[in-house]
């Protein structure tokens, strides 16, 4: 089972200079929140976009400058362990970076840009922040995501991202924290070895095993992909004999004519090139897609791609 990652939000640092005692108090309060979180869920890890020692507290202090000496060895061991267990793989990093090329995440109230809020939104996770900036003072952060669309227009969506900056927030999110990442999902090897028994009316192209391995680096999208595959399997088993297509219980759509050119794959079973333009979604903001081909003759659904919304040929 992959660990579930939370994101330390350096955008929540104090903008300006703090005196040493105030900076130390702020950093220790953040670490205390992490300790309380870990008591609720031992599978939690944390991720940040700078080396842990360089994580800023304010414009004039970083953790490595404020928590100095043997008196803070326990704190350093604790946060380094949480950071070293982060499950985000290079493939997941690349997927998210690709999505962020045309997106900008910022707080609604203070209009502050935040990479951590972007990652937490895309992976349905949460941020851990300092309790000093109003945008991060509550158990959720209101976020707006601006996206540059293909036609040059900018669209905006609002999100509410879970946040922990005080011990009260840990209590508010306690049930979510206890269950986060604890839903048992098969490993990629177990899934692949058991796919025919688990999903008898689904067939997977060989290339999809790597797709699953890439997603396994972030537990929530991987679990959601497995759930969507299970739903497709259930739909295929309810496929009525007199119908050419199954009835889908989750929203299934075909790509536009121009985007269908991205969806052609060779089916290794018969050697034919087929369009895998039909797809279902398995997350919201992460824009996860499962592309498939409906084989009416053999009455099976062929899975060809599991991953981010396509921007180039599979």
Name which of 18-32, 54-68, 284-298 the model is least confident about: 284-298
pLDDT digits (tens, 9 = 90+) for 154-207: 888 888 999 999 999 999 999 888 877 555 678 899 999 999 999 999 999 999
Contacts made by residues 191-198, CB under 8 angstroms, sequence distance 24+: 191/226, 198/230, 198/233
The percent of residues above 90 in pLDDT, for the chain, comes to 62
User: For 123-150, what is the mean pLDDT?
Assistant: 90
pLDDT digits (tens, 9 = 90+) for 8-48: 999 999 999 999 999 999 999 999 999 999 999 888 889 98
Q: Is the pLDDT of residue 72 over 90?
A: yes
Residue 207 near residue 265 (C-beta atoms within 8 A): yes
Q: What is the pLDDT of residue 14?
A: 95
**pLDDT confidence tier of residue 4, bands split at 50, 70 and 90:** confident
Q: Is the pLDDT of residue 3 over 70?
A: no
**pLDDT confidence tier of residue 308, bands split at 50, 70 and 90:** confident
Name which of 112-126, 182-196, 250-264 the model is least confident about: 182-196
Q: What is the pLDDT of residue 284?
A: 60
Q: Is the pLDDT of residue 234 over 70?
A: yes
Nearest to 227 by CA among 192, 183, 267: 183
Q: What is the pLDDT of residue 1?
A: 43
Contacts made by residues 137-140, CB under 8 angstroms, sequence distance 24+: 137/165, 138/163, 138/169, 139/163, 139/164, 139/168, 139/169, 139/172, 139/173
Residue 47 near residue 86 (C-beta atoms within 8 A): yes
Q: What's the rounded Cα separation, in Å, for the pair 288 and 281?
A: 6
For CA atoms 103, 105, 110, 116, give the dihedral sign. negative
Q: How far lies 253's CA from each of 15, 76, 250, 279, in Å?
A: 46, 49, 10, 6
**Average predicted confidence (pLDDT) for the chain:** 89
Q: What's the rounded Cα separation, in Å, for the pair 75 and 161?
A: 26
φ, ψ dihedrals at 275, nearest 5°:
-90, 120
Q: What is the pLDDT of residue 280?
A: 92
Place of tokens 């227009």: 153
φ, ψ dihedrals at 127, nearest 5°:
-105, 155
For CA atoms 106, 28, 89, 208, give the dihedral sign. negative
User: For 136-155, what is the mean pLDDT?
Assistant: 88
Q: What's the rounded Cα separation, in Å, for the pair 117 and 105?
A: 7
Q: What is the pLDDT of residue 233?
A: 93
Strand partners, 292: 278, 303
Q: Which residues contact 159 (CB under 8 A, 6 or more apart)?
A: 121, 142, 143, 144, 145, 285
pTM for this structure?
Answer: 0.71
């Amino acid at each position: 089972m992959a660990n579930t990652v939370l994101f330390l939000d350096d955008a929540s640092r104090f903008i300006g200079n703090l005196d040493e005692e105030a900076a130390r108090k702020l950093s220790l309060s953040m670490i205390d929140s992490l300790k309380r979180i870990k008591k609720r869920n031992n599978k939690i890890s944390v991720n940040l976009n700078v080396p842990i020692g360089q994580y800023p507290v304010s414009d004039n202090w970083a953790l490595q400058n404020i928590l100095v000496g043997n008196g803070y060895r326990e704190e350093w061991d604790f946060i380094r362990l949480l950071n070293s267990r982060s499950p985000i793989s290079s493939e997941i990093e690349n997927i998210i970076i690709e999505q962020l090329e045309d997106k900008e995440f910022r707080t609604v109230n203070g209009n502050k840009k935040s990479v951590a809020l972007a990652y937490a939104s895309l992976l349905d996770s949460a941020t851990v922040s300092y309790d000093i900036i109003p945008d991060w003072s509550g158990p959720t952060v209101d976020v707006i995501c601006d996206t540059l669309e293909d036609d040059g227009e900018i669209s905006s969506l609002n999100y509410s991202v879970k946040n922990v900056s005080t011990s009260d927030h840990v209590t508010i999110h306690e049930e979510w924290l206890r269950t986060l990442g604890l839903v048992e999902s098969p490993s990629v090897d177990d899934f692949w070895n058991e796919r025919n028994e688990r999903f008898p009316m689904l067939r997977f192209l060989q290339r999809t095993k790597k797709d699953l391995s890439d997603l396994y680096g972030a537990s929530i999208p991987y679990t959601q992909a497995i759930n969507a595959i299970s739903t497709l399997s259930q739909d295929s088993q309810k496929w009525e004999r007199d119908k050419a297509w199954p009835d889908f219980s989750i929203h299934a759509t075909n790509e536009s004519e121009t985007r269908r050119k991205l969806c052609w794959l060779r089916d290794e079973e018969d050697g034919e090139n087929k369009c895998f333009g039909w797809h279902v979604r398995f997350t919201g903001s992460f824009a996860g897609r499962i592309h498939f081909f409906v084989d009416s003759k053999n009455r099976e659904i062929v899975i060809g791609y599991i991953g981010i919304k396509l921007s180039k040929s599979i």
